[in-house]
Structure 1
Amino acid sequence: MVTFTDSVCVTSEFNISDSAFHIHKDMKIVFKYSFVSWDKPWRICLKSESYGLIQIDDDRTWIQTVKTVHETYLPVGLQIAILCVLFAISALCSGLTLGLMALTPQELKILISSGTPTEKKYADAILPIRLHGTRLLCTVIIMNVIVNTGITLLFDDLAEGVVAFVASAVGIVIFGEILPQSICVKYGLAVGANTIYITKFFMMILFPVTWPLARVLDKYAGVDIETVNRSRMVEMLKMNMDESAACDIDLSTLKIAIGAMELTKKCVKDVMTDIDVKNLLYVSDLALIGKDNYITVKAVARFNKRRLRIVDENMPLTALMDEFKMGDYHLAMVAKATEVKKHHNGKFVDDKIDNFIIKSMQLVEATMLSTSESNEEHAMTLVGLITLEDITEELLQAEITDETDFYVTDDSLKKRRTNTSKKHAPELFCSEKKSERLSLHMLNMTQRWLLDKTPLFSGMNPKAFENLIQRNIREVLIVPPKNSTSRGTLNLYEKGVMSKRFVLILEGKATIRFNDRDLVFEVGSWTSFGGAILEKVEECLVDQKGSLAC
Structure 2
Amino acid sequence: MFDKKKFLISSISITLLIFTVFHNVENVIQKRRFLSEDDESLNEKHEQEEHKNVRKTYSPAEIDFWICLLIAATLICMAAVCSGMTVGYLSIDELQLEIYKEQGTNEQQRQANIILPIIKQHHMLLCTLLIGNAFCMESLPIFFDKVVPPAFAVLISVIFIIFAGEIIPQALCTGPKQLIIAEKLTPIVKILMIVFWPISYPLARMLDSYFGEHGSTRFQKNELKALIELHGIQKHATGGGHSNEDQGFTQAEINMITSTIDLRDKTVEQVMIPIKDVFSVNKNNELNKETLARIASSGYSYVTIYENQKENIIGTIRAKQLIDMELTKRKISELDNLVRPVLFVQNDTSLFEMLMIFKQRKTKIAFVVETNKIEQTNTQRNPNFQIVEEKVQKKIIGLISLKMLFEEIVKKEFHDQDNHIKFNSLKPPQIQKIGKSQSNIIMEPEEKK
TM-score normalised by length of structure 1? 0.43
Offset of 1:364 from its aligned partner? Answer: 4.7
* Pair 1:194–1:363, CA change in 2 (3 A): same
Report the counterpart of residue 117 of structure 1 in structure 2: 106
Match of residue 181, structure 2, among 171, 174, 191: 191
* Pair 1:320–1:198, CA change in 2 (3 A): closer
Distance (Å, rounded) in 2 between the aligned partners of 1:358 and 1:250 = 48
Offset of 1:147 from its aligned partner? Answer: 1.5
Q: Is the 8 A contact 2:89 2:119 kept in 1?
A: yes
Distance (Å, rounded) in 2 between the aligned partners of 1:287 and 1:323 = 38
Q: Is the 8 A contact 1:279 1:301 kept in 2?
A: no
Offset of 1:203 from its aligned partner? Answer: 1.7
Give the aligned residue type for 2:132. M
* Pair 1:365–1:102, CA change in 2 (3 A): same
Distance (Å, rounded) in 2 between the aligned partners of 1:130 and 1:306 = 61
Offset of 1:228 from its aligned partner? Answer: 2.8
| 1:317 pairs with 2:343 | no
Distance (Å, rounded) in 2 between the aligned partners of 1:120 and 1:154 = 42
1:419-434 → structure 2 map (5 Å cutoff)? none
Report the counterpart of residue 201 of structure 1 in structure 2: 191
Report the counterpart of residue 133 of structure 1 in structure 2: 122
Give the aligned residue type for 2:365. H
Give the aligned residue type for 1:200. K
Distance (Å, rounded) in 2 between the aligned partners of 1:101 and 1:149 = 23
Give the aligned residue type for 1:266. K
Report the counterpart of residue 412 of structure 2 in structure 1: 399
Give the aligned residue type for 2:349. M
Report the counterpart of residue 365 of structure 2 in structure 1: 330
Match of residue 148, structure 1, among 113, 118, 137: 137
* Pair 1:80–1:127, CA change in 2 (3 A): same
1:283-294 → structure 2 map (5 Å cutoff)? 288=290
Report the counterpart of residue 401 of structure 2 in structure 1: 387
Offset of 1:93 from its aligned partner? Answer: 1.0
| 1:212 pairs with 2:225 | no
**Over residues 360-407 of structure 1, what are the superposed CA-to-partner deviations in whole Å (9 max), with x where a residue is unaligned?**
9968566xxxxxxxxxxxxxxx6x764322212334x342422689xx
Distance (Å, rounded) in 2 between the aligned partners of 1:330 and 1:194 = 57
* Pair 1:398–1:166, CA change in 2 (3 A): farther
**Over residues 140-161 of structure 1, what are the superposed CA-to-partner deviations in whole Å (9 max), with x where a residue is unaligned?**
1111111122345566784667
Report the counterpart of residue 48 of structure 2 in structure 1: none
Distance (Å, rounded) in 2 between the aligned partners of 1:253 and 1:75 = 71
Give the aligned residue type for 1:355. N
**Over residues 296-339 of structure 1, what are the superposed CA-to-partner deviations in whole Å (9 max), with x where a residue is unaligned?**
xxxx998574645887665322333344443566154587xxxx
* Pair 1:317–1:75, CA change in 2 (3 A): farther
Secondary structure of 1:246's match? helix
Q: Is the 8 A contact 2:358 2:364 kept in 1?
A: yes
* Pair 1:209–1:313, CA change in 2 (3 A): same
Report the counterpart of residue 87 of structure 2 in structure 1: 98
Distance (Å, rounded) in 1 between the aligned partners of 2:292 and 2:74 = 102
Distance (Å, rounded) in 2 between the aligned partners of 1:357 and 1:287 = 39
Give the aligned residue type for 1:318. F
Using CA pairs under 8 Å that are at least 6 residues apart, name the structure with larger relative contact order, 1 or 2: 2
* Pair 1:122–1:264, CA change in 2 (3 A): same
Give the aligned residue type for 2:87. L
Offset of 1:192 from its aligned partner? Answer: 1.6
324-333 or 195-204, larger mean C-alpha shift: 324-333
Distance (Å, rounded) in 1 between the aligned partners of 2:178 and 2:257 = 30
In our comparison, the structure showing a higher alpha carbon Rg is 1
* Pair 1:169–1:323, CA change in 2 (3 A): same
Report the counterpart of residue 223 of structure 1 in structure 2: 213
Q: Is the 8 A contact 2:123 2:207 kept in 1?
A: yes
Offset of 1:269 from its aligned partner? Answer: 5.1
Q: Is the 8 A contact 1:312 1:357 kept in 2?
A: no
1:12-91 → structure 2 map (5 Å cutoff)? 72=56, 75=59, 78=66, 82-91=71-80
Secondary structure of 1:399's match? coil
Secondary structure of 1:143's match? helix
Offset of 1:199 from its aligned partner? Answer: 1.6
For structure 2, the residue ranges without an aligned partner over 5 or more in a row are 1-51, 294-304, 314-342, 377-389, 427-449
201-210 or 300-309, larger mean C-alpha shift: 300-309
Report the counterpart of residue 34 of structure 2 in structure 1: none
Offset of 1:102 from its aligned partner? Answer: 3.1
Distance (Å, rounded) in 1 between the aligned partners of 2:214 and 2:292 = 78
Distance (Å, rounded) in 2 between the aligned partners of 1:155 and 1:362 = 91
Q: Is the 8 A contact 1:106 1:226 kept in 2?
A: yes
92-101 or 257-266, larger mean C-alpha shift: 257-266
Secondary structure of 2:262's match? helix
Distance (Å, rounded) in 2 between the aligned partners of 1:90 and 1:160 = 22
Q: Is the 8 A contact 2:69 2:144 kept in 1?
A: no
Q: Is the 8 A contact 1:334 1:385 kept in 2?
A: no
Q: Is the 8 A contact 1:310 1:363 kept in 2?
A: no
Offset of 1:95 from its aligned partner? Answer: 1.5
Report the counterpart of residue 246 of structure 1 in structure 2: 245
Distance (Å, rounded) in 1 between the aligned partners of 2:306 and 2:113 = 69
**Over residues 36-61 of structure 1, what are the superposed CA-to-partner deviations in whole Å (9 max), with x where a residue is unaligned?**
xxxxxxxxxxxxxxxxxxxxxxxxxx
Report the counterpart of residue 344 of structure 1 in structure 2: none
TM-score normalised by length of structure 2? 0.51
Match of residue 179, structure 1, among 165, 168, 173: 168
Q: Is the 8 A contact 1:280 1:301 kept in 2?
A: no
**Over residues 137-181 of structure 1, what are the superposed CA-to-partner deviations in whole Å (9 max), with x where a residue is unaligned?**
2111111111122345566784667x7666555543443333322
Distance (Å, rounded) in 2 between the aligned partners of 1:138 and 1:227 = 22
Distance (Å, rounded) in 2 between the aligned partners of 1:361 and 1:88 = 79
* Pair 1:334–1:201, CA change in 2 (3 A): same
Q: Percent identity?
A: 24
Q: Is the 8 A contact 2:231 2:249 kept in 1?
A: no
Secondary structure of 2:90's match? coil
Offset of 1:253 from its aligned partner? Answer: 7.1
**Over residues 215-238 of structure 1, what are the superposed CA-to-partner deviations in whole Å (9 max), with x where a residue is unaligned?**
332233322333635635555444
Task: From the two aligned structures, give the one with the greater helix fraction.
Answer: 2
Aligned length: 297
Secondary structure of 2:136's match? helix
* Pair 1:261–1:404, CA change in 2 (3 A): closer
* Pair 1:182–1:318, CA change in 2 (3 A): same
